[in-house]
Amino acid sequence: MPQAKQRAEAAMAATDTSWNARGELEVLTFDIGGETLALEATMVREILDLLPETLVPGAPALVRHVVNFRGRIVPVADLRLAFAMEAGETTADSRIVVIELPIDGEPTLIGLRTDHVREVATLNAGASEEAPAVGMRWQRDYVRRLVRWRDDLIILPDLTAIFAAVLSPRS
């Protein structure tokens, strides 16, 4: 029973992954800090070259900068911090992936700093598993699923959980 309860709680904490009827999920894969992550393709709005960023003093480290994304002020998140990865150099491959995510009840554009954007891929639910309770370097509730794909292990991050941690309280 406690196990079942734990699993239910984990399922509730994690954002739902909406596999389609055939158990497939179309995602965009990208590299951050040596790992490959994937996000639902429907979430992705645009892939940008690096833009001049503006520091917001006093902002949480995860979202310390903003950029001008076609006239809108978009926060830029560095997911490396959520996964305790080391900061890397920006390279010619570095891109900002702009996604739309409901934050605090309103659809919000967020730029994700990535080292390299790979491709749009179709993942299989059958090849996915829950994040293991032990032996993982990352905070468990930040990971929705781990998916085997070709020779790689892809992380489906739980952005809602990651960003909830840095959300400033509403005044």
Partner 1 sequence: MTEDPTATFRVEAGELLDQVEQGLLDLGHRLGDMALVNAVFRGLHTLKGSGAMFGFDALAAFTHHCESAFDRVRKGEVPATAELVSVILSARDHMAALVDGAAPQAEGDAILARLAAAVEAARGGGAPAEAAPVGAQQGVRLFFRLPADAMANGTNPLMLLDELRELGEAEVRVRTDTLPPLGALVPNECHLGWDVTLRGDITREAIEDVFIFVMDDMTLEIAPLGDAAPAGVVPVAETPPATTIAAVAPVAAPAIVASAAVSPAVENVRVPADRLDALMDRVGELVIAQSRLSQLANNRHDLLLRSVTEDIERLSGELRDTMMVLRMVPVSSLFGRFRRLIHDLARDTGKAIELQTSGETTEVDKTVIERLFDPLVHIIRNSCDHGLESPADRIAAGKSETGLVRLSAHQAGGEVLITIVDDGRGIDRERVRAKGEANGLIEPGQQIADDELLGLIFHPGFSTAAQVTNLSGRGVGMDVVKRTIESLRGAINVASEPGKGSTITLRIPLTLAIIEGLLVRVGESRYVIPLSAVEECLELSLEDDLRSRGHSLITLRDRLVPFVRLRDLFSTGTRPDPHQKIVVVATGRERVGLVVDQIIGNHQTVIKSLSAFHRGVGSFSGATILGDGNVALILDVAQLVAMAQPREETLRAAS
In the complex, the residues that contact partner 1 under the rule CB under 8 A are: 52, 54-60, 63, 66-68, 70-75, 103-104, 106, 108-110, 163, 166-171
Residue 97 C-beta: closest distance to partner 1, Å:
16
Q: 47: which strand partners?
A: 97
Residue 55 vs 92, nearer CB to partner 1: 55
Q: Is 92 buried (19+), middle (13-18) or exposed (0-12) by CB count in 10 A?
A: exposed
Closest of 84, 91, 131, 81 to residue 115, by C-alpha:
91
Residue 50 C-beta: closest distance to partner 1, Å:
13
Residue 68 vs 122, nearer CB to partner 1: 68
3-state secondary structure of 20: coil
Instruction: Tell me how far apart the alpha carbons of residues 18 and 144 are, in angstroms, rounded to a whole number.
Output: 11
What does the H/E/C string look like for 96-125?
EEEEEEEECCEEEEEEEEECEEEEEEEEEH
Residue 150 vs 170, nearer CB to partner 1: 170
Residue 138 C-beta: closest distance to partner 1, Å:
21
Q: Tell me 126's DSSP state.
A: G
Residue 75 C-beta: closest distance to partner 1, Å:
5
3-state secondary structure of 74: strand
Residue 3 C-beta: closest distance to partner 1, Å:
35
Residue 110 vs 112, nearer CB to partner 1: 110
Residue 73 vs 120, nearer CB to partner 1: 73
